[in-house]
Structure 1
Amino acid sequence: MVVLVLKSLGINDLIGFEFMDPPPGETLMRALELLYALGALNDRGELTKLGRRMAEFPVDPMLSKVIIASEAYSCTDEILTIISMLSESSSLFYRPKDKKLHADQARQNFVRAGGDHFTLLNVWEQWADTNYSQQFCYEQFLQYKSLCRARDIRDQLAGLCERVEVVIQSNPNSNDITPVQKALTAGYFYNTAQLQKSGDSYRTLKTNQTVYIHPSSSLFQHQPPVKTVLYYELVMTSKSYLRQVMEIKPAWLFEGEFLILTF
Structure 2
Amino acid sequence: APESLMQALEDLDYLAALDDDGNLSEVGIIMSEFPLDPQLAKALIASCEFDCVEEMVSLAAMLTASPCFVPLSTHLEEAVALRRRALLHPNGDHFTLINIFNAFQQLTPHPCPRGADAAVPPADAGDEGWCRKHGVSAEALRLAGTVRAELLEVMRRIELPVSPPAFGSDANALNIQRALISGYFLKVARDIDGSGNYVMLTHKHVAHLAPACGYLLRPPPRRLPPWVLYHEFTISQDNCLRVVSEIQPQMLVELAPQYYLSNLPPSEGRDLLMEL
TM-score (normalizing by structure 2):
0.79
Give the AA of the match of 2:145.
R
Give the drift of 1:225.
2.4
Query: CA 1:209–1:140 in structure 2 vs 1: closer, same or farther (change >3 Å)?
Result: same
Instruction: Give CA deviations for 1:14-45 in whole Å, capped at 9, x if unaligned.
Output: xxxxxxxxxx3222211110111000112331
| Correspondence 1:44-63 to 2 at 5 A | 44-63=21-40
Decide whether the 8 Å contact of 2:227 with 2:246 is kept in 1: yes
Within the alignment, does 1:189 sit opposite 2:166 as a pair?
Answer: no
Quote the Cα distance in structure 2 between the aligned partners of 1:157 and 1:244.
Answer: 21
Give the drift of 1:254.
2.4
Decide whether the 8 Å contact of 2:233 with 2:241 is kept in 1: yes
1:219 pairs, out of 200, 215, 218, with 215
Decide whether the 8 Å contact of 1:186 with 1:259 is kept in 2: no
Quote the Cα distance in structure 1 between the aligned partners of 2:194 and 2:101.
Answer: 36
Query: CA 1:56–1:173 in structure 2 vs 1: closer, same or farther (change >3 Å)?
Result: closer
Aligned residues: 237
Partner of 2:274: none
| Correspondence 1:60-139 to 2 at 5 A | 60-88=37-65, 90-131=67-108, 133-139=127-133
Query: CA 1:46–1:238 in structure 2 vs 1: closer, same or farther (change >3 Å)?
Result: closer
How well do the aligned residues superpose, as a CA RMSD in angstroms?
A: 2.1
Quote the Cα distance in structure 1 between the aligned partners of 2:65 and 2:216.
Answer: 20
Query: CA 1:96–1:173 in structure 2 vs 1: closer, same or farther (change >3 Å)?
Result: closer
Percent of pairs with identical residues:
29
Decide whether the 8 Å contact of 1:76 with 1:170 is kept in 2: yes
Partner of 1:144: 138
Decide whether the 8 Å contact of 1:36 with 1:43 is kept in 2: no
2:164 pairs, out of 166, 170, 181, with 170
Partner of 1:242: 241
Give the AA of the match of 1:152.
T
Within the alignment, does 1:199 sit opposite 2:195 as a pair?
Answer: yes
Query: CA 1:172–1:99 in structure 2 vs 1: closer, same or farther (change >3 Å)?
Result: closer
Task: Extract unaligned runs of 5+ from structure 2.
Answer: 111-126, 260-276
Instruction: Give CA deviations for 1:230-249 in whole Å, capped at 9, x if unaligned.
Output: 01111135641001100011
Task: Extract unaligned runs of 5+ from structure 1.
Answer: 1-23
Decide whether the 8 Å contact of 2:215 with 2:223 is kept in 1: no
Give the drift of 1:208.
0.5
Instruction: Give CA deviations for 1:55-91 in whole Å, capped at 9, x if unaligned.
Output: 1112101111011000001001100111111234634
Quote the Cα distance in structure 1 between the aligned partners of 2:106 and 2:71.
Answer: 21
DSSP-derived class of the 1:32 partner: helix
DSSP-derived class of the 1:242 partner: strand
